Structure 1
């Protein structure tokens, strides 16, 4: 049984299915498992489009895109704004495709982790000489990062390996909420 908050999140996420599906089909083709990107929106913002992050770098919208970092690449792809849901979904799909093209294993967990934490996951998989999520996690050597700050003081730290590798698991689990049983042949998650 879902709480009222969970029900509202699911309702918001379901309203994003069509724009996310359309944008991901544009970027990846008609066989992309778009439901994981709906799950990503749930993990990033509980599918709230009018949210600004407190990450200190200006991430915004349901996919928490940092426009100032992606602005030039997005404009080159013809994406001139991310304020609308359609523009934001297209930017999310573009960024994911950009990261997927740079993965070493061509697995979706690696793509989503690159979106979340940069290219280190690919280096960890190469160090592990494996494309298995578990092996990449074991090869991860990142330190702790501040996850709760009060003013200038950090109140809580977490290991960056845990954060980034848990992210792929959370996106996968959330995405399954929006999967309608479609077959997936070309894209492997784990």
Structure 2
């Protein structure tokens, strides 16, 4: 799967070259998300065995674009659900692996809180929305008109169509949300802060 991060790496901007290598790539084979069958295991591996179908993310050594990839047993790897294809399984990791640490560790989202997710219809936004619902939060999704049905089907309690209304400029959203998660970096902290609850 070619993620947005891998697209950035391939674009070779000055910022990405600082990370991926100024003169030549630090990692000759890119790719983070993988899915497939285990071909071999190390002698101390206990969680997996040859033939297991797995999927996961390899964000430290990359290499998922290769035919074979080496992954640590305690890395981001899990048994692939039988009802998902390899393509579907790798897509699950794209948004969720980004959203999870922000909601769980950064925001410490919990049941009864309210969250606004800007960019709720993208890979990170749809994952964040489903995770937030799993935590028991009330979710307000911000998306375009064409994605209202999608975010509603994924469990959004409220939807703001950004083509008709800016959540940072609307008086009735002031002092409303415990957490604002901007998955698309389209609004500044200063503007969004008005919609956050005090403290």
TM range (shorter): under 0.3
Q: TM (normalized to structure 1)?
A: 0.28
Q: TM (normalized to structure 2)?
A: 0.27
Greater per-residue helix proportion: 1
